Structure 1
């Protein structure tokens, strides 16, 4: 199954969740936000939010500074 992550195509196992995606991409456990098809998904729902073919995800990493 293919999804778009920050405008790059990523191949996932079928019926993946956001939590599984974060593990596959080796993302940090804290300091990120994820939107699926322009809808921000709360971290508490990552384990149950199923991703589908051609979903568009935006992953935002927090940065320090000013």
Structure 2
């Protein structure tokens, strides 16, 4: 199934949820925010939120600095 991930086409398995996508991207446990079709998905909803064909997913990673 094809989605858009951070502006680029990305192929994933059907019936994947946000938590599984984050794990596939090796970002589990990282400080990240996820938006799907411009709506933020709270972390507590990642297991329930199934990805759909043509979803536009943005994953933003927090980077500290100073």
TM-score, length-scaled by structure 2: 0.92
- What value does the CA root-mean-square deviation take over the aligned residues? 1.0
**Structure 2: stretches of 5+ with no match in the other structure:** none
| Cα shift readout 1:5-54 (whole Å, capped 9, x = no counterpart) | 10111111101100110111111413100000000000000001000000
Structure 1 stretch displaced more, 35-44 or 8-17: 8-17
**Structure 1: stretches of 5+ with no match in the other structure:** none
Query: 1: CA distance between counterparts of 2:30 and 2:44?
Result: 12
TM-score, length-scaled by structure 1: 0.92
Deviation at 1:65, TM superposition (A): 2.0
Equivalent residues, number: 66
Hey, what does 2:47 align to over in structure 1? 47
Query: 1: CA distance between counterparts of 2:19 and 2:63?
Result: 21
Q: What are the within-5 Å matches in structure 2 for residues 24-35 of structure 1?
A: 24-35=24-35
Query: 2: CA distance between counterparts of 1:38 and 1:25?
Result: 20
